Amino acid sequence: MQNITIDTDTIPLCQFLKITGSIDSGGQARFLLKDRQVSLNGNIETAKRRQLKDGDIIEVKGKGSWRVVKQGA
């Protein structure tokens, strides 16, 4: 699992997926979520605008898993 540091309190899931390299565009997030390929803290996630916060763990099947870390936390 890799830590991804953010400098805000929250970040939208679709933006986070772009940072990790899991997708190239927000439109691709829709397909990953529709196909139930993304989990947030162990639960399937379907909302691309879900706000992630410090400590959240995101996993994309076949791509990897990441932990959200707030800078300075």
Task: pLDDT band for 27, please (50, 70, 90 cuts).
Answer: confident
* Greatest alpha-carbon span in the chain: 35
Q: pTM of the entire structure?
A: 0.88
Q: What is the pLDDT of residue 43?
A: 97
pLDDT digits (tens, 9 = 90+) for 34-70: 999 999 999 999 998 999 999 999 999 999 999 999 9
Name the DSSP letter for residue 50: P
Please state the length of the chain. 73
Q: What is the pLDDT of residue 73?
A: 64
Q: Could you tell me whether strands 43-44 and 51-53 are parallel, antiparallel, or unpaired per DSSP bridges? A: unpaired
Taken in order of first residue, the domains within the chain and their CATH numbers are 2-70 (3.10.290.10)
Q: Between the CA of residue 15 and those of 1, 6, 27, 73, what are the distances in Å?
A: 18, 11, 11, 20
